[in-house]
Chain A
Amino acid sequence: MAKLLGGIATSHIPAIGVAMDQGLENTPYWKEFFEAYPPVRDWLYTQEPDIAIVFYNDHGLEFFHDRKPTFAMGAAAQYENADEGWGIAEIPPVTGETELSWHIVNHLIEHDFDITVCQEMKVDHGLTVPLTLMWPGHKYGHVKVIPVAINCERHPMPKPSRSYAFGKAIGDAVRSFAGDQKVIVMGTGGLSHQLDGQRAGFINKPFDLYCMDKMVDEPELLTCYSNYELVEKAGAQGVELNMWLAMRGALEGEGKLKELHRSYHLPISNTGAGLQLLATDNAR
């Protein structure tokens, strides 16, 4: 059976991609942020996952309001990035995976998740920045990626409890897949931030730290929020916590998790940037 090794939560803001392209990792602004990553990279290097399921939100590359899915999932053999309009460098294609993808799709529909299934899908910085962070120099071609996009842009959005249940169903699907693949899940985005309105720039450090605390053993304390409460506590784009919760949901059913790494730094661009690694007993 396929095995879940653990989950990684990380920021995905485009500024990170730009900083890496320009080699700014050791400048005063970026140093502390990037210094958090080597332990997570080392873990990935040792664990050698075959497949990464990445929860992210599309920021208007693939999806527009004409047809905006609540949950969309890729089932393609390859995914391309493209011009996002604001001048971040395009990144090389991402390797996909179709067998486990379709298995998950079937499981989700069977369990009443009404996803949009994508056999062709452009992936934006929400997915590509985390991959580049984990495997710098765009060296992620050996990992098969299953993109899962959650609407975090326009209300109505899936509730935190729904995103968590969605993640849990994906975890169940992985565990029931007849293969011996090693799988990791990634929750990307967040933490608190607000880009729009007179409240732009809002960051809530105590709330972010609380969330990272509860991610480990008590995620139900986070899934009880409504998206409105998240906007209030974590800013308009703080709803990206939904991706972290989906990732955490996928690990439900793996028993007690080991928190192998945690760091938090602000500001990175307009956000509180969290990094967290939660491992299951399947990890070496």
Chain B
Amino acid sequence: MANIIGGITTSHIPAIANAMANGLEETPYWKPFFDGYPPVRDWLNEKKPDVIILFYNDHGLEFFIDKKPTFAIGVADEYHNADEGWGIPTIPPVTGESDLSWHIANSLVEDGFDMTICQEMKVDHGLTVPLNLMWPGYNYGHVKVIPVCINCEQHPMPQPKRTYALGQAIGRAVASFDQDLKVAVFGTGGMSHQLDGERAGIINREFDIDCLDKLVSDPEALTKYSNLDLVEIAGAQGVELNMLIAMRGTLIGEVKELHRNYHAPISNTGSGLMLLEHTMPKK
């Protein structure tokens, strides 16, 4: 049986990639951010997950608003990054995992989730930055990644209660997969930020910290928010909280917080790193 061993929340902003490419990790601006990561890397290196299910949002590399999926899942054996137009380095291919991916896709469609299923898919910084943060130097080729993409760009977007339900359905699907695999789930993006409009630059530290608390002990409380609430409280791109909520949804058993590091600002955002250990529910 496949087993979800834990969940991780992390920022995915492109500035991180630039900082890493330019070796700025120890500069005063970046140090408090990067100092949060070694314990999570250690945990990953110790637990050695086979598969990472990674919730992110495409920022206009693979998907354009000509055809914008609400939920897309990759089922390929390899994914490529590409030029995103603003000069962050292109990163090496990401290994995929088609068997478990198809199993999850089948299970989701059966459960009434109307997935867009991708056999070929370019993955952008939303996915590649977190991988490189966890395995610096692009040393992530050994882990198989299942990308799950949530629309956080164009309204209407799936509501927090729906993304949580998606996460739960993925958690059940993993639990019903008959191969022995260790799976870790990443919820990437956020936390509070707004890039556009006169309100650009807002960060809500108090709210972000409350969200991290709730992600541990009371995720259902977060599903009470609408996306409009999130925009109001956490900024226009604060809706990226949906990816963190989806991640938490997959943790259908017991969770224990092992590590947390909140730091703001990183670029225009509040950045929340958290590691939750997960024990699958008893059959």
Contact = CB atoms under 8 A, between A and B. Distances in A.
Nearest first, the 4 A-B pairs at minimum CB distance are A109-B156, A156-B109, A120-B66, A70-B114
Interface stretch (B12-20, B116-124, B203-211): B116-124
A66 B62 CA distance: 11
Interface residues of A, number: 32
B105 A156 contact: yes
Given A70-B109, A155-B106, 12 more contacts: A66-B120, A67-B120, A68-B119, A72-B67, A109-B156, A110-B156, A112-B112, A115-B69, A116-B116, A156-B105, A162-B112, A165-B112
Interface of A: 62, 65-72, 105-106, 109-110, 112-121, 154-159, 162, 165-166
A66 B119 contact: yes
Contact of A120 (B67, B70, B118, B155): B67
B68 interface: yes
Contact of B110 (A110, A119, A159): A159
Nearest to B109: A156
Given A66-B121, A67-B121, A70-B116, A156 B110 contact: yes
Contact of B156 (A65, A71, A105, A159): A105
Given A66-B120, A71-B114, A116 B70 contact: yes
Contact of B69 (A65, A116, A154): A116
14 contacts: A67-B63, A67-B67, A68-B119, A69-B114, A70-B116, A70-B117, A72-B67, A109-B157, A114-B158, A115-B70, A115-B114, A118-B68, A121-B66, A159-B110
Residue among B114, B117, B166 with most chain A CB within 10 A = B114
Contacts of A118: 66-68
B113 A114 contact: yes
Interface string B164-190: 011000000000000000000000000
Interface string B56-75: 00000011011111111000
Contacts of B165: 112
B106 A66 contact: no
Contacts of A71: 114
Nearest to B62: A67
Nearest to A65: B119
Contacts of A106: 155-156
Contacts of B72: 67
Given A118-B66, A120-B67, A156-B109, A109 B158 contact: yes
Given A109-B157, A112-B162, A114-B158, A69 B109 contact: no
